[in-house]
Structure 1
Amino acid sequence: MSFTEGREEIHLPAEVNWEMLDKSRFFFLGAALFSGVTAALYPAVVVKTRLQVAMPSPAAVPAPPSAVRIATAILRREGFRGLYRGLSTSLAGTVPARALYMAALESTKSAVGTASVRLGASDSAAAAAASAAAGVTAAIAAQVVWTPVDVVSQRLMVADSCGGVGSGAALFKSILLSDGLRGLYRGFGVSILTYAPSNAVWWLSYAMAQRAIWGMVGSRNDGRWIVAVQGMSAAAAGGAAAVVTMPLDTIKTRLQVMDGGGGGGEMRGGIGRTVAGILKEGGWKACYRGLGPRWASMSLSAMTMITTYEFLKRVSAKEGAFTA
């Protein structure tokens, strides 16, 4: 692919599109690779979640807990295992959620990109539109599976501070019996409002960052340069998406973690009451509690995920469809 930057034409490395993939290999290898990445980055998610649900002490007005303080407290009270609470539940949902995500992402990107070019859009405009549309579609598809997993795994993450809740399977059954499917999909609307724009921002930023970086370094066919540019672009996109959607993520986490049937009664009123409660605790700054771990997690995750994902697409290409 090429695009014009001023008067100079920049050639981007060729992409592996949806039609070029061996789907069975793509999904099988993807499940294994992304499960490993999820496990490696999981402790940052646990710390971020604990920060988001941390309540101020009524006896005093202490400084908001820091990520380091939360991580140290977990290690002191629960040991290393505390940083991996809910991991098995999270991994159980990763495979189907990622499969839906990747299928929706690649098929939408291919369809929208082709349609945009046919309508007369430039290559760069078509790529930007395809990336944003694909991010939205993929996020919505994945949340159908991921929201119930998120509800259960996040409650397990904060189990020490909110009381023991047993295993993931027991908690899943408990929520289903007490609140029905509605309980498992608590925060689904906010999840869509969080992840749809987050994914749109991410994929759009990623496409733009790649073009900007390739514009600076020039056309290179070296594999190491390709990986480096993709990694830097992904990290920048992940950081941007983290900042833009952090308040919505905090609201979503509170809705999903606080038990509507007891404990956290101030959260029963839904989104409005949740927002009011967060603002009462510390104003808009409270909406950004956990931004550091989330920013680091999303940037590192994005860098790791995209290099893994691009590698996955190349090793999953049909015979003769792509030449590295």
Structure 2
Amino acid sequence: MPEPVLTVRVPERRPSGTMEDKRNIPIIEWEHLDKRKFYVLGVAMTMVIRVSVYPFTLIRTRLQVQKGKSLYHGTFDAFVKILRADGVTGLYRGFLVNTFTLISGQCYVTTYELTRKFVADYSQSNTVKSLVAGGSASLVAQSITVPIDVVSQHLMMQRKGDKMGRFQVHQGPQGQGLIAFGQTKDIIRQILRADGVRGFYRGYVASLLTYIPNSAVWWPFYHFYAG
């Protein structure tokens, strides 16, 4: 199936001197989507972006959690100190776990498109389809994202020296920390012992109240503008 072509019309100038903006932006539905390109290239592009911004996400999280300026005096100071203490890998603590949130992005778009297709059997209104699909997509995405974020943020707090977060990864032989997913398993066990399954959903309701209305309102406006 050939890819849909984006057609842009140049606004016509009326005799009165006014400009009329005529939009002709095609709405790409689920059946028009190239699934192979979406799932492969979409994940690859998101991963590249994630690699570039993750160190600053980690620094931001530590700056927000620390008491006053007990450890870092700012973004640059935190960047330098983390590099000196832990090297480049210190800027990517929890990164492997965090990459699983890429799944939520794919689930978001998949849920959105499939829900639009389902709602189309009951209503042809783009507003109705987008409102229901946008809210449903955020519900699914946040249900996946929140537990992963909770674990990865606890991993971000792991550092040599003083304890920053609620949990501390146990030390291996010769005082070395557990590597890779060994730390993840350790953090998961500690969360389960302390809070049970609910511990993985701290902030879940707040996330839903943030993202569901935003997504439910954003998509109808997008289709209104595109039309």
Query: So what's the TM-score if we normalise by structure 2?
Result: 0.69
CA distance in 2, matches of 1:306, 1:209: 13
Q: Is the counterpart of residue 238 in structure 1 residue 138 in structure 2?
A: yes
The aligned residue for residue 116 of structure 2 is 210
CA distance in 1, matches of 2:158, 2:72: 13
CA deviation string 1:237-256 (max 9, x = no partner): 11111113332221111111
Q: Secondary structure at the match of 2:61?
A: helix
The aligned residue for residue 148 of structure 2 is 248
Q: Structure 1 residues 135, 215: closer, same or farther in 2, change over 3 A?
A: farther
Q: Which letter does structure 2 place at the counterpart of 1:259?
A: R
Q: Structure 1 residues 260, 124: closer, same or farther in 2, change over 3 A?
A: farther
Q: Structure 1 residues 160, 282: closer, same or farther in 2, change over 3 A?
A: same
CA distance in 2, matches of 1:296, 1:162: 31
Q: Which has the larger radius of gyration?
A: 2
Deviation of 1:196 (Å): 1.5
The aligned residue for residue 31 of structure 2 is 124
Q: Which letter does structure 1 place at the counterpart of 2:157?
A: V
**Could you say which structure has the higher helix fraction?**
1
- Whether the 8 Å contact between 1:128 and 1:207 is mirrored in structure 2 is no
Q: Structure 1 residues 233, 134: closer, same or farther in 2, change over 3 A?
A: farther
CA deviation string 1:58-96 (max 9, x = no partner): xxxxxxxxxxxxxxxxxxxxxxxxxxxxxxxxxxxxxxx
CA distance in 1, matches of 2:123, 2:215: 21
- Whether the 8 Å contact between 1:135 and 1:202 is mirrored in structure 2 is no
CA deviation string 1:245-282 (max 9, x = no partner): 33222111111133344315436432121112111212
Q: Structure 1 residues 134, 239: closer, same or farther in 2, change over 3 A?
A: farther
Deviation of 1:164 (Å): 5.4
The aligned residue for residue 69 of structure 1 is none
Q: Is the counterpart of residue 266 in structure 1 residue 169 in structure 2?
A: yes
CA distance in 1, matches of 2:156, 2:220: 31
Q: Secondary structure at the match of 2:72?
A: coil
Q: Secondary structure at the match of 1:266?
A: coil
| Of 74, 78, 87, the match for 1:171 | 78
- Whether the 8 Å contact between 2:60 and 2:75 is mirrored in structure 1 is yes
**Structure 1 residue runs without a partner (length 5+):** 1-14, 22-112, 114-122, 315-323
CA distance in 2, matches of 1:132, 1:177: 38
Query: So what's the TM-score if we normalise by structure 1?
Result: 0.50
- Greater RCO, 1 or 2 (C-alpha within 8 Å, sep 6+): 1
Deviation of 1:230 (Å): 2.6
CA distance in 1, matches of 2:74, 2:219: 32
CA distance in 1, matches of 2:90, 2:129: 42
Q: Structure 1 residues 303, 215: closer, same or farther in 2, change over 3 A?
A: same
Q: Structure 1 residues 300, 151: closer, same or farther in 2, change over 3 A?
A: farther
- Whether the 8 Å contact between 1:131 and 1:207 is mirrored in structure 2 is no
CA distance in 2, matches of 1:259, 1:304: 41
Q: Structure 1 residues 243, 136: closer, same or farther in 2, change over 3 A?
A: same
The aligned residue for residue 43 of structure 1 is none
The aligned residue for residue 299 of structure 1 is 212
| Of 186, 201, 207, the match for 1:288 | 201
- Whether the 8 Å contact between 2:93 and 2:158 is mirrored in structure 1 is no
- Whether the 8 Å contact between 1:132 and 1:203 is mirrored in structure 2 is no
The aligned residue for residue 38 of structure 1 is none
- Whether the 8 Å contact between 2:85 and 2:160 is mirrored in structure 1 is no
The aligned residue for residue 53 of structure 2 is 146
Q: Structure 1 residues 159, 285: closer, same or farther in 2, change over 3 A?
A: same
Q: Secondary structure at the match of 1:146?
A: helix
Deviation of 1:299 (Å): 2.1
Q: Structure 1 residues 144, 288: closer, same or farther in 2, change over 3 A?
A: same
